[in-house]
């Protein structure tokens, strides 16, 4: 498996600093940059940020961690991804999720009451049809178009990764995804998720590349901030926070080792401490690229 480490940016990065961060990651040889979907924050929009960063670089890969798909029209998303695939081949890394992490933003991605999961499934099917150049009418229960085709269709369709950790979400990854990016999971839970995805893929007559399992991890060198601790309690009730957030770089290495043993090989590392981002990036560049293979 190819072990890779990328930097994840959350809601605390002002837009005025974004270009400088992109330049630093490119010149520093960092594998990838990951952008969260957080509408009511200082964070850059993930699709705009992905396009901007890819246009500014020649090597850096850029992904979404994660962008919400239900509530966006899949054909328009396909056009965006096809354009990025043509302009920056194999460097756009879309990851899609069911709903925003912040409850207050869920109204911005409308879905029929109680049918968001169904909308996600249909959206994935329509998105793939559009990226494959399918011109046949698409008629689902929730989405219908006379033709899903966009142009130009990319020579190599981008891999479509999915997030999520609920049983239904893991089954969705197996049925529709090319990879998985989890978060707020202990190594043991991540390993069980990998097995559930493999089983769902096999049941659907599919297989997901062994290299295509990832996890988002946070480093909080000066202790877990209160807001993050509250999010951990909501997202992973009963879990030991020390298995979810690394309170220092030695602890991060131990978490990485445990996730590698669970079948994870792609890591998005977030700065969750109160210190300056530059210091985090300095340490990232010293600690993690040597572990890549």
Instruction: Look at residue 143 and tell me whether its pLDDT is greater than 80.
Output: yes
b or e along 112-145 (b: 16 or more beta carbons within 10 Å of the residue's beta carbon)? eeeebbbbbbbbbbbbbbbbebeeeebeeebbeb
Within-domain flag for 131: no
Confidence band, pLDDT 50/70/90 cuts, at residue 232: confident
pLDDT at 239: 79
pLDDT tens for each residue of 28-55: 999 999 999 999 999 999 999 999 999 9
Within-domain flag for 141: no
DSSP character at residue 242:
G
Give the domain CATH number at 94: 3.20.20.30
Q: What pTM, to 2 d.p., does this model score?
A: 0.95
Within-domain flag for 29: yes
Within-domain flag for 244: yes
Within-domain flag for 124: no
Within-domain flag for 183: yes
For residue 159, the enclosing domain spans: 4-113+155-291
pLDDT at 226: 77
| Token code pair at residue 166 | 């609920």
Within-domain flag for 146: no
pLDDT at 235: 74
Within-domain flag for 11: yes
pLDDT at 242: 80
Quick one: what percent of the chain has pLDDT higher than 90?
Answer: 85
The number of distinct structural domains making up the chain is 1
pLDDT tens for each residue of 75-94: 999 999 999 999 999 999 99
Q: For residue 122, which phi and psi values (nearest 5 degrees)?
A: -65, -35
């Amino acid at each position: 498996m190819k072990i890779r480490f990328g930097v994840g940016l959350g809601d605390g990065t002002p837009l005025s600093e974004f270009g400088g961060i992109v330049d630093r990651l490119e010149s520093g040889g960092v594998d990838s940059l990951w952008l969260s979907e957080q509408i009511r924050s200082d964070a850059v929009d993930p699709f705009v940020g992905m396009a901007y960063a890819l246009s500014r670089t020649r090597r850096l890969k850029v992904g979404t961690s994660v962008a919400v798909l239900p509530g966006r029209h899949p054909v328009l998303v396909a056009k965006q991804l096809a354009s990025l695939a043509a302009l920056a081949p194999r460097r756009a890394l879309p990851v899609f999720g069911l709903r925003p992490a912040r409850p207050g933003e869920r109204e911005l991605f409308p879905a029929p009451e109680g049918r968001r999961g169904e909308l996600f499934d249909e959206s994935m099917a329509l998105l793939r049809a559009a990226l494959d150049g399918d011109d046949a009418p698409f008629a689902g229960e929730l989405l219908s178009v006379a033709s899903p085709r966009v142009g130009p269709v990319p020579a190599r369709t981008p891999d479509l990764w999915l997030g999520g950790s609920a049983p239904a979400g893991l089954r969705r990854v197996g049925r529709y995804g090319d990879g998985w990016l989890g978060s707020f999971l202990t190594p043991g839970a991540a390993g069980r998720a990998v097995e559930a995805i493999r089983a769902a893929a096999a049941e659907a007559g599919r297989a997901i590349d062994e290299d295509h399992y990832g996890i988002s991890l946070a480093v909080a060198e000066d202790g877990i901030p209160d807001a993050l601790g509250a999010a951990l309690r909501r997202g992973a009730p009963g879990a030991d926070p020390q298995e979810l957030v690394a309170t220092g770089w030695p602890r991060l290495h131990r978490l990485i080792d445990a996730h590698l043993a669970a079948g994870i090989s792609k890591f998005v590392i977030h700065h969750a401490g109160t210190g300056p981002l530059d210091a985090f990036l300095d340490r990232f560049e010293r600690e993690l690229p040597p572990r890549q293979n």
